[in-house]
A and B are shown apart, each in its own frame.
Chain A
Amino acid sequence: MKTMVEFRWHGRGGQGAWTASELLARTALDEGKYIQSFPEFGPERMGAPVTAFTRISSEPIRLHCAIYDPDVVVVLDNTLLKTVPVTAGLNREEDCIIINSSEEPAALKETLRVVKGKVWTVPATEIALKILGAPITNTALLGVVAKATNIVTLDGIQKTLKGRFRADLAEKNFAVVQEAYREAKVI
């Protein structure tokens, strides 16, 4: 694996993109990595497109700028696919984009014109509605990140969730993580 892996998260204000970025970073830190997690510094409005970033590295991280060439892009809300250039900077075969969508990865690969890199999809909204009773998709996407990158373990995510949420919420969110991990498809 590369020394450093860079993630860019796309969501809408209130959907928990930065929280997901932070949960991933905290899990990686617990597993011995160096981390950075930060939102795109700008106005925060409910429902408006937001971006967050995560860097995970086996060595101290010196970069202090936004991420322009991510290794992994995560899209929490598929209504952003038409309005935000989510594939920007995906330019290597080993890059990937993970999308909350019930569509097949092949269909989205074509729609988004992804030339290089893998496309993952997961019906995160359905999973979240079923288990949490609310369309909060960030933890589902975290499960797919674990599957697509192997950068953190499911046990690690479970531990982070327990440290962050009330016991029952942590348990439900981990069930979301596990189901998303199972359901995610890739091309």
Chain B
Amino acid sequence: MEHQIKRDTVAMNGDEAVAFAVKQCDVDVVAAYPITPQTIIVEKFSEYVANGEVQTQYVCTESEHSAMTACLAAAAAGARTFTASASAGLALMHEMLFVTSGSRVPVVMAVANRALSAPLNIHGDHSDAMAERDSGWIQIYVENAQEAYDSIIQAFKIAEDTTISIPLMVCLDGFTISHTLERVDILPDDLVKHYVGERGYPMVLTHEGKTVPFKLDPANPMTMGPNALQNYYFEFKRQQEEAMKHALKRIREINSEYAKISGRGYGNGLVDKYQLDDAEIAIVVLGSTAGTLKVIVDQLRQEGIKAGVLRIRSFRPFPVEDVIHALKDVKAVAVMDKSMSPGGLGAAVFSEVRNALYDSKQRPILVNYIFGLGGRDNSPRDLRKVYEDLLHIARTGQAEKAVNYLGLRE
């Protein structure tokens, strides 16, 4: 492995790509607890620590709840901070995710998306991250190992931006990205270090009337995580929404800035549109499935079928305007969800897209396909069927069912 790392192109799985990016970002503190399919990230990173390749304080905690608590504390003290988790581990962090975002500290976390028990399942779907939709974290979903690497580097720039200062999770599909060896082009260490730069801090006014950087510092005492009851809690929450608006803008800008140094960009940073300009049918999806769909779209286009893909990269903040614009001229759209909301009308991404389109005068017929739960693989043939269904819906002008299940025995 060593001889390859010195070169610009390496073979890494998604987890290794994440660990390598974290190493290059000069992180001060990593506190983590291993869980499949994220384990390789912390294993690899702890090797870097043991080998003296990084100057990071590595904290092995006794649970994910403690891992997130340690990250919160480290980030509050001004440290650049990283952790990784998945599934039950992320669920155990649930309480502290809200404390971290509410405290406005920019922890970066990689989530190797995995199903939640029961029944017990270690494989990939989006149930874990979707359950944390409202935790106040930015959520970026990546398509492959290369994007996982690139997005971690961008993540520190976004989360630590002084107009944002909220935590961010980079979501990579468990196994499909985390454990698949792929070609990854890496940037030189010094370029990444220079690009990410030192962590900046928003300036805040202390009770002593001094304007100081927002971090715990004995020279400038301040309270973090105060009691804020009926009098102020609501205002705190409203400010998190404002930070998300800044994030919407900065994710775009950072995608363009990063493209200049790396030659790689992902759509406009928020959404990645593929063959949508004249599309009559389209699929909206998150994560690695978008890649397979792009290949299917190429085949359909050769057959004269005007199909497209809209990959949502930033799920929080949700790019409402981009989604409306991308889908306005499409006749029929399937939103594919790798999670469920039992008892709801479709799953999380579907609700979001449908909600965004409600006010548009011109909007497509929208259907939901729930797929791939518990890591069930969908062949290109299965996925092509969704486009075939959409063709039928576009021609007849009506959908039989709003919510459908792909590749399910019933």
**Which residues on A are within 8 Å of B, measured CB to CB?**
22, 25-26, 29, 33-39, 41, 60-66, 68, 163
> What are some 20 contacts across the A-B interface (CB < 8 A)?
A26-B181, A29-B9, A33-B183, A34-B182, A35-B181, A35-B182, A35-B183, A37-B181, A38-B175, A62-B291, A62-B292, A64-B176, A64-B180, A64-B289, A64-B292, A65-B378, A65-B379, A65-B380, A68-B381, A163-B3
Most buried by A among B3, B123, B176, B183: B183
Complex contacts, B181 vs chain A, CB 8 Å: 22, 25-26, 35-38
Is the beta-carbon distance between A65 and B292 smaller than 8 angstroms? yes
Whole-angstrom distance between the Cβ of A88 and the nearest chain B Cβ: 12
Tell me what chain B mostly uses at the interface: helix, strand, loop, or mixed.
Answer: mixed
Whole-angstrom distance between the Cβ of A130 and the nearest chain B Cβ: 30
Is the beta-carbon distance between B180 and A37 smaller than 8 angstroms? yes
**Which residues on B are within 8 Å of A, measured CB to CB?**
1, 3-4, 9-11, 123-124, 143-144, 173, 175-177, 179-183, 288-289, 291-292, 294-295, 375, 377-381
Out of A38, A63, A68, which one reaches B179, CB within 8 Å? A38
Q: Measured between alpha carbons, how far is A97 from B71 in the docked complex, in Å? A: 51
Whole-angstrom distance between the Cβ of A37 and the nearest chain B Cβ: 4
Is the beta-carbon distance between A163 and B4 smaller than 8 angstroms? yes
Complex contacts, B176 vs chain A, CB 8 Å: 38, 41, 64-65
Is the beta-carbon distance between A66 and B183 smaller than 8 angstroms? no
Complex contacts, B381 vs chain A, CB 8 Å: 68
Whole-angstrom distance between the Cβ of B71 and the nearest chain A Cβ: 29
Is the beta-carbon distance between B179 and A64 smaller than 8 angstroms? no
Q: Measured between alpha carbons, how far is A163 from B10 in the docked complex, in Å? A: 13
Whole-angstrom distance between the Cβ of B78 and the nearest chain A Cβ: 38
Is the beta-carbon distance between B291 and A64 smaller than 8 angstroms? yes
Complex contacts, A60 vs chain B, CB 8 Å: 183
Is the beta-carbon distance between A66 and B291 smaller than 8 angstroms? no
| 3 A-B pairs closest in CB distance | A62-B291, A64-B288, A37-B181
Is the beta-carbon distance between A25 and B380 smaller than 8 angstroms? no
Complex contacts, A26 vs chain B, CB 8 Å: 11, 181
Q: Measured between alpha carbons, how far is A61 from B11 in the docked complex, in Å? A: 13
Q: Measured between alpha carbons, how far is A33 from B181 in the docked complex, in Å? A: 13
Is the beta-carbon distance between B379 and A66 smaller than 8 angstroms? yes
Complex contacts, A34 vs chain B, CB 8 Å: 182-183
Q: Measured between alpha carbons, how far is A29 from B9 in the docked complex, in Å? A: 8
Complex contacts, B295 vs chain A, CB 8 Å: 62-63
